[in-house]
Amino acid sequence: MPWLFSGTSTGEGYVLRLDLNGNVTHCLQDPTGETYPDTTSAIESGGMLYIGSYSADGVGRIPVP
């Protein structure tokens, strides 16, 4: 059974920004999951970064670093 469905998630959240060559240019981390748990997606729009999660209540939003 995949960890996603097994109830063993640690709640970690990571968002990486890559350049066109695949190099990491930014790395946002929430290793404990206390700020925004179980990150699944991120999209930049209008100077803000919107972050999705399968377990958080709502969408996270922060200024683009």
pTM: 0.74
Q: What is the pLDDT of residue 2?
A: 53
pLDDT confidence tier of residue 1, bands split at 50, 70 and 90: very low
Please state, in angstroms and as integers, the Cα–Cα distance from residue 57 to each residue in 19, 49, 51, following that order: 30, 17, 12
pLDDT in tens, 5-64: 555 667 788 899 999 999 999 999 888 888 888 888 999 999 999 999 888 888 999 999
- Residue 35 in contact with residue 14, Cβ under 8 Å? no
The residues, any chain, with a CB within 8 Å of residue 21's CB and separated by 6 or more, are none
Q: Is residue 4's pLDDT more than 70?
A: no
